[in-house]
Amino acid sequence: MKLDVIQLDAKKAGSIELSDEIFGLEPRADILHRVVRWQRAKAQAGTHSVLGKSDVSYSTKKIYRQKGTGGARHGSKKAPIFRHGGVYKGPTPRSHAHELPKKFRALGLKHALSAKAKAGELIVLDSIEMKEGKTAFLAKAAKELGWKRVLIIDGAEVNENFARAARNIEGIDVLPTMGANVYDILRRDQLVLTKAGVEALEARLK
Protein backbone atom coordinates (compact mmCIF):
# COMPACT_ATOMS: atom_id res chain seq x y z
CA MET A 1 0.00 0.00 0.00
CA LYS A 2 1.35 3.39 -1.02
CA LEU A 3 0.44 6.68 0.66
CA ASP A 4 1.47 10.28 0.09
CA VAL A 5 3.59 11.91 2.78
CA ILE A 6 2.79 15.50 3.73
CA GLN A 7 4.32 18.19 5.92
CA LEU A 8 2.67 20.34 8.56
CA ASP A 9 2.23 23.11 5.99
CA ALA A 10 0.24 20.63 3.80
CA LYS A 11 2.99 20.42 1.16
CA LYS A 12 3.79 17.00 -0.28
CA ALA A 13 6.99 15.32 0.85
CA GLY A 14 7.04 12.23 -1.35
CA SER A 15 5.36 8.90 -0.65
CA ILE A 16 5.79 5.86 1.57
CA GLU A 17 5.17 2.14 1.12
CA LEU A 18 3.12 0.67 3.96
CA SER A 19 3.23 -3.01 4.87
CA ASP A 20 0.09 -4.89 3.79
CA GLU A 21 0.55 -7.22 6.79
CA ILE A 22 -0.17 -4.29 9.10
CA PHE A 23 -2.11 -1.70 7.09
CA GLY A 24 -3.76 -3.85 4.43
CA LEU A 25 -5.85 -6.34 6.42
CA GLU A 26 -9.63 -6.64 6.16
CA PRO A 27 -10.76 -5.16 9.51
CA ARG A 28 -12.72 -7.56 11.73
CA ALA A 29 -15.13 -5.99 14.20
CA ASP A 30 -15.03 -9.02 16.53
CA ILE A 31 -11.26 -8.73 17.03
CA LEU A 32 -11.43 -4.97 17.60
CA HIS A 33 -14.33 -5.45 20.03
CA ARG A 34 -12.43 -7.98 22.15
CA VAL A 35 -9.32 -5.81 22.38
CA VAL A 36 -11.29 -2.67 23.27
CA ARG A 37 -13.21 -4.60 25.96
CA TRP A 38 -9.89 -5.84 27.38
CA GLN A 39 -8.51 -2.29 27.44
CA ARG A 40 -11.55 -0.75 29.09
CA ALA A 41 -11.83 -3.56 31.66
CA LYS A 42 -8.16 -3.10 32.56
CA ALA A 43 -8.69 0.66 32.99
CA GLN A 44 -11.76 0.26 35.21
CA ALA A 45 -11.04 1.35 38.78
CA GLY A 46 -13.03 -1.39 40.51
CA THR A 47 -13.28 0.66 43.72
CA HIS A 48 -17.03 0.09 44.16
CA SER A 49 -17.90 -0.99 47.68
CA VAL A 50 -20.84 -1.28 50.08
CA LEU A 51 -21.18 -2.07 53.77
CA GLY A 52 -22.05 -5.65 54.64
CA LYS A 53 -23.65 -6.98 57.81
CA SER A 54 -20.31 -7.03 59.61
CA ASP A 55 -19.38 -3.51 58.46
CA VAL A 56 -22.37 -1.36 59.42
CA SER A 57 -22.25 0.56 62.68
CA TYR A 58 -25.14 -0.56 64.82
CA SER A 59 -25.85 -2.03 68.27
CA THR A 60 -25.19 -5.76 68.59
CA LYS A 61 -27.90 -6.11 71.21
CA LYS A 62 -30.59 -8.71 70.43
CA ILE A 63 -33.59 -6.63 69.32
CA TYR A 64 -36.20 -8.69 71.16
CA ARG A 65 -36.57 -12.05 72.84
CA GLN A 66 -36.31 -15.26 70.83
CA LYS A 67 -39.73 -16.73 71.60
CA GLY A 68 -43.18 -15.62 72.49
CA THR A 69 -43.48 -12.49 70.35
CA GLY A 70 -45.43 -14.06 67.49
CA GLY A 71 -42.90 -12.61 65.07
CA ALA A 72 -39.90 -14.03 63.29
CA ARG A 73 -36.67 -14.70 65.18
CA HIS A 74 -34.11 -11.89 64.86
CA GLY A 75 -30.82 -11.35 66.56
CA SER A 76 -29.37 -8.21 64.96
CA LYS A 77 -30.48 -4.91 63.45
CA LYS A 78 -27.53 -5.26 61.07
CA ALA A 79 -29.40 -7.86 59.02
CA PRO A 80 -30.02 -6.87 55.37
CA ILE A 81 -33.82 -7.01 55.78
CA PHE A 82 -33.78 -4.04 58.19
CA ARG A 83 -33.42 -0.39 57.30
CA HIS A 84 -29.80 0.75 57.67
CA GLY A 85 -28.74 -2.91 57.74
CA GLY A 86 -25.85 -4.30 55.70
CA VAL A 87 -26.12 -5.07 52.01
CA TYR A 88 -26.27 -8.76 51.07
CA LYS A 89 -23.59 -9.82 48.58
CA GLY A 90 -22.95 -6.26 47.42
CA PRO A 91 -20.00 -5.18 45.23
CA THR A 92 -16.53 -5.22 46.77
CA PRO A 93 -13.27 -3.68 45.48
CA ARG A 94 -11.78 -5.90 42.78
CA SER A 95 -9.90 -5.80 39.51
CA HIS A 96 -12.00 -6.10 36.35
CA ALA A 97 -8.97 -6.97 34.21
CA HIS A 98 -8.95 -10.23 32.29
CA GLU A 99 -6.32 -12.03 30.25
CA LEU A 100 -5.86 -11.54 26.51
CA PRO A 101 -2.93 -13.13 24.64
CA LYS A 102 -0.17 -10.77 23.55
CA LYS A 103 -0.39 -12.01 19.95
CA PHE A 104 -4.13 -11.27 19.89
CA ARG A 105 -3.52 -7.74 21.19
CA ALA A 106 -0.96 -7.18 18.43
CA LEU A 107 -3.45 -8.52 15.88
CA GLY A 108 -6.06 -6.07 17.20
CA LEU A 109 -3.64 -3.16 16.69
CA LYS A 110 -3.01 -4.29 13.11
CA HIS A 111 -6.75 -4.41 12.43
CA ALA A 112 -7.22 -0.94 13.95
CA LEU A 113 -4.50 0.50 11.70
CA SER A 114 -5.98 -1.31 8.69
CA ALA A 115 -9.44 0.03 9.52
CA LYS A 116 -8.15 3.60 9.45
CA ALA A 117 -6.26 2.99 6.22
CA LYS A 118 -9.30 1.41 4.53
CA ALA A 119 -11.58 4.28 5.63
CA GLY A 120 -9.16 6.85 4.21
CA GLU A 121 -8.55 8.27 7.68
CA LEU A 122 -4.81 7.54 7.77
CA ILE A 123 -2.36 10.40 7.20
CA VAL A 124 1.43 10.14 7.08
CA LEU A 125 3.49 13.16 8.14
CA ASP A 126 7.13 13.63 7.22
CA SER A 127 7.94 14.88 10.73
CA ILE A 128 6.39 16.77 13.63
CA GLU A 129 9.58 18.55 14.65
CA MET A 130 9.01 22.18 15.61
CA LYS A 131 11.63 24.81 16.50
CA GLU A 132 9.25 26.41 19.01
CA GLY A 133 6.32 25.00 20.95
CA LYS A 134 3.83 27.59 19.68
CA THR A 135 0.19 26.58 20.00
CA ALA A 136 -0.95 29.26 17.51
CA PHE A 137 1.17 27.81 14.70
CA LEU A 138 -0.04 24.25 15.28
CA ALA A 139 -3.68 25.33 15.67
CA LYS A 140 -3.51 27.14 12.32
CA ALA A 141 -1.86 24.14 10.63
CA ALA A 142 -4.47 21.74 12.10
CA LYS A 143 -7.30 23.96 10.85
CA GLU A 144 -5.84 24.11 7.33
CA LEU A 145 -5.37 20.33 7.32
CA GLY A 146 -8.94 19.78 8.57
CA TRP A 147 -7.92 18.06 11.83
CA LYS A 148 -10.66 18.13 14.49
CA ARG A 149 -10.44 14.86 16.43
CA VAL A 150 -7.05 13.41 15.61
CA LEU A 151 -4.50 11.06 17.17
CA ILE A 152 -0.85 11.65 16.23
CA ILE A 153 1.65 8.83 16.75
CA ASP A 154 5.36 9.67 16.56
CA GLY A 155 8.45 7.47 16.91
CA ALA A 156 10.04 6.24 20.13
CA GLU A 157 9.83 9.75 21.62
CA VAL A 158 7.49 12.63 20.83
CA ASN A 159 9.06 15.94 19.82
CA GLU A 160 8.97 18.07 22.98
CA ASN A 161 8.01 21.35 21.26
CA PHE A 162 5.21 19.67 19.32
CA ALA A 163 3.84 18.00 22.45
CA ARG A 164 3.90 21.36 24.29
CA ALA A 165 2.02 23.06 21.45
CA ALA A 166 -0.53 20.24 21.07
CA ARG A 167 -1.49 19.91 24.73
CA ASN A 168 -3.43 23.19 24.62
CA ILE A 169 -5.49 22.21 21.55
CA GLU A 170 -8.71 20.31 22.13
CA GLY A 171 -9.10 17.26 19.90
CA ILE A 172 -5.38 16.63 19.27
CA ASP A 173 -3.71 13.77 21.15
CA VAL A 174 -0.05 12.82 20.75
CA LEU A 175 1.46 9.45 21.65
CA PRO A 176 4.82 7.71 21.18
CA THR A 177 4.80 4.42 19.28
CA MET A 178 4.73 2.29 22.44
CA GLY A 179 1.57 4.11 23.53
CA ALA A 180 -0.32 3.21 20.34
CA ASN A 181 -3.46 1.28 21.24
CA VAL A 182 -6.70 0.14 19.62
CA TYR A 183 -9.13 2.20 21.74
CA ASP A 184 -7.41 5.56 21.16
CA ILE A 185 -7.01 4.87 17.44
CA LEU A 186 -10.67 3.96 16.90
CA ARG A 187 -12.19 6.80 18.92
CA ARG A 188 -10.52 9.51 16.82
CA ASP A 189 -11.71 10.65 13.41
CA GLN A 190 -8.22 10.62 11.90
CA LEU A 191 -4.96 8.85 12.60
CA VAL A 192 -1.72 10.69 11.81
CA LEU A 193 1.55 8.75 11.74
CA THR A 194 4.98 10.25 11.28
CA LYS A 195 7.48 8.40 9.09
CA ALA A 196 9.37 7.50 12.27
CA GLY A 197 6.09 6.25 13.76
CA VAL A 198 5.40 4.04 10.73
CA GLU A 199 8.87 2.50 10.93
CA ALA A 200 8.57 1.90 14.67
CA LEU A 201 5.08 0.35 14.34
CA GLU A 202 6.20 -1.96 11.57
CA ALA A 203 9.22 -3.01 13.64
CA ARG A 204 6.98 -3.60 16.66
CA LEU A 205 4.28 -5.61 14.86
CA LYS A 206 6.30 -7.70 12.42
State the burial class of residue 184 (Cβ atoms within 10 Å of its Cβ: 0-12, 13-18, 19+). Answer: middle
User: Does residue 7 sit in the same domain as residue 74?
Assistant: no
pLDDT of residue 159: 87
| pLDDT tens digits, 93-112 | 999 999 999 999 999 999 99
CATH number of the domain to which 125 belongs = 3.40.1370.10
User: Does residue 104 sit in the same domain as residue 6?
Assistant: yes
User: Does residue 80 sit in the same domain as residue 102?
Assistant: no
Closest by CA position to 197, among listed 179, 183, 182, 172 = 179
Mean pLDDT in residue range 40-67: 92
User: Does residue 84 sit in the same domain as residue 123?
Assistant: no
User: Does residue 196 sit in the same domain as residue 162?
Assistant: yes
Kindly state the helix (H) or strand (E) to which residue 123 belongs, with its residue range: strand 122-125
Residue 2's alpha-carbon distances to 19, 25, 28, 158, 178, in angstroms, are 9, 14, 22, 25, 24
| pLDDT tens digits, 116-141 | 999 999 999 998 888 888 899 999 99
pTM for the model: 0.83
User: Does residue 78 sit in the same domain as residue 150?
Assistant: no
User: Does residue 117 sit in the same domain as residue 21?
Assistant: yes
- The dihedral built from the CA positions of residue 114, 22, 12 and 10, taken in this order, carries a sign that is positive
User: Does residue 74 sit in the same domain as residue 34?
Assistant: no
Residue 149's alpha-carbon distances to 39, 60, 102, 126, 192, in angstroms, are 20, 58, 29, 20, 11
Residue 200's alpha-carbon distances to 31, 110, 157, 174, 180, in angstroms, are 23, 13, 11, 15, 11
Query: How many domains does the chain fold into?
Result: 2
User: Does residue 60 sit in the same domain as residue 33?
Assistant: no
Helix axis angle, 102-118 to 29-43, nearest 10°: 120
User: Does residue 64 sit in the same domain as residue 153?
Assistant: no
Closest by CA position to 148, among listed 182, 118, 192 = 192
pLDDT band at 202 (very low <50, low <70, confident <90, very high): very high
Domain boundary among 90, 110, 143: 90
- 110: domain range? 2-45+97-205
User: Does residue 76 sit in the same domain as residue 176?
Assistant: no
User: Does residue 190 sit in the same domain as residue 116?
Assistant: yes
